[in-house]
Each structure stands twice: as structure tokens, then as C-alpha cells.
Structure 1
Amino acid sequence: MAEEKLLTVNVVTPDGSVYDEKTPMAVFKTTVGELGILPEHIPLLASLEIDEVRVKVPGTEDKFDEIAVNGGFVEFSNNIATVVANSAERKENIDLARAERARKRAQERLEKARQEQNIDKQRRAEISLRRALNRLNISKH
């Protein structure tokens, strides 16, 4: 049986490395759509949405590691996919109660900004809400 080809996925934030594993496939949600990367993919650079990065666990049919990423970008070259994000959390490290509190605060800020008709505050609250919902969705998979 041929050995499975693998690529490396690194997820880093200003606080350090969040994820560093080898995989046969990784899936990223970019600003222009979903992108799957296999070993020996052509080099690329893409902006990421607030969403999850899914990394296939080697030797399994359908098991994936899931990482909540709050934007950033992915760069792929030399069989290494490096995600640089302001913040990221592995599924198993997400504090569900904290994420729920963040969602509630963001919804309250969004409602207040809408009442004040403050577009800047509204945009920031919407981003905070998307981040909280992303963490909640991933933690519940």
C-alpha cells in the first residue's frame, strides 16, 4: 500500500501556535469561497473569513480537527499551509459559556448601535457577533 501523502497545517496567532499537524487535506473558508488544499497544491495566498479551518485526521475516512479562526489569511507553499489570524481556538479548547456570554454582549451592542444609528459601532458589533457565533457553532459540532 502506498504511503499517504501529507501536508503540514500551522495556525498561528500573536499569542503563539494554536495548531501544528500533518494532514492529507485541509479546508479553508476564504473571502471568495471554500478552498480545499491537498499535498503538492500550487502556492497560494488567500484572505480568510471568520469561520472554521477543517483539517482531516490522517488514516480516517471522515474525521476532522476543527479550528475557529477569526479572519486572517492562509499561505500555502512547499507543502505547508500557514494560517495567520488575530485569534484562533481548537474546537476542544472553546469555552462554551464564555462564547455564549460574548454572543449576548455582541447582540446587545449591535442593538444599541442600531438604535443610535452608529454605522461604525454596528459593524464592530456585527463582527463580534460573527466571531461568537463561529465559536459556538464549532463547539457544538
Structure 2
Amino acid sequence: MAEMTVQVVTPDGIKYAHRASMVVVGTPDGEMGILPDHVNIISPLTVHEMKVYRVDQEQTINWVAVNGGIIEVKNNQITIIANSAERKREIDLDRAKRAKVRAERELEEAQAKPHSADQVRRAQVALERAINRINVGNK
């Protein structure tokens, strides 16, 4: 069976490293599926849930909450350099839910203020990340 090596790296180090038969990531243009022998590419990533179909565990999908970054696919090696990333098993759902509530409150407050575009955008990103973590944690 053809396979690829997948590695997710953040400023905190390697968050994920395995062999896979397929990987699905989120890009600004939508979801992108990557199979072995994929054309070499570099692409930006969005806040999205990454799906890794592992070679050594049939019918098993590993979920990773990826919070932006870039992906490079080259010679069956997938390298993701992410701002932050968490595997499903690492996600504290209660903490993620509290972060979502806090981000929603901050977004409301920022939208009520004039000239607060930066605050609005930061709150939107925090909300996006919290929702992504919750989605992955619930898989």
C-alpha cells in the first residue's frame, strides 16, 4: 500500500508524526485531500480539523485541530507548520467551551466599540479556534 509521512510542527515542537494513506486539510479554497504521489505543493492553511487516515490502523482517522499555517507536500512527505495544533486526545473540551464563551463575549464587546476592527478580528479568530477545538474534541 502506498503511504506518506505526515508531520505537524508548531513553535512548541512536533505535535503529530505518523504514516498515512490519506490526509485532508483546510485551505482558503476549501478542503484539500492528499493521497500518495500527490503533486508537490505549498499552500496556506486555515483554522480547520485535519483528518489523517493512518496506514497502520485500518479504518482509523486521527483528528488534529490545526490553527492556521502552511502545508508542504513533497515526495510523499507532508509537513505542516502550524501556529498551533492539538490532537483530539489532547483537547480539554471544558476548557475549549470556556474559551468559546469568552471569545463570544469579547466579540460582542469589540463590535459595540467604534474603531475596533483589530479587536473584532482577534475575537473572531479566538472564536474560530475554540469552535475548531470543540469540533475535533467531539469526534
TM-score class, shorter? over 0.9
Correspondence for 2:133: 135
1:95 Cα deviation after fit: 0.7
Q: Give the superposed CA RMSD.
A: 0.9
- Structure 2 counterparts to residues 15-94 of structure 1, below 5 A: 15-58=12-55, 59-61=57-59, 63-94=60-91
Q: Distance in 2 between matches of 1:23 and 1:133?
A: 26
1:95 pairs with one of 92, 95, 114:
92
Matched residue SS, 2:100: helix
Correspondence for 1:120: 118
| Cα deviation digits, residues 95-141 of structure 1 (max 9, x gap) | 11111111111111101001113111001100000000000011011
Unmatched 5+ residue regions in structure 2?
none
With structure 2 as the length reference, what TM-score do the two structures score? 0.95
| Cα deviation digits, residues 51-92 of structure 1 (max 9, x gap) | 11100022523x210000000010000211000011000001
Q: Distance in 2 between matches of 1:71 and 1:86?
A: 6
1:29 Cα deviation after fit: 0.8
Matched residue SS, 1:130: helix
Paired residue type of 2:122: R
Q: Distance in 2 between matches of 1:65 and 1:77?
A: 21
1:5 Cα deviation after fit: 0.8
* Runs (4+) off by over 2 Å: none
* Count of aligned positions: 137
1:33 Cα deviation after fit: 1.4
- Percent of residue pairs bearing the same amino acid type: 44
Larger proportion of strand = 2
Q: Distance in 1 between matches of 2:9 and 2:121?
A: 25
Unmatched 5+ residue regions in structure 1?
none
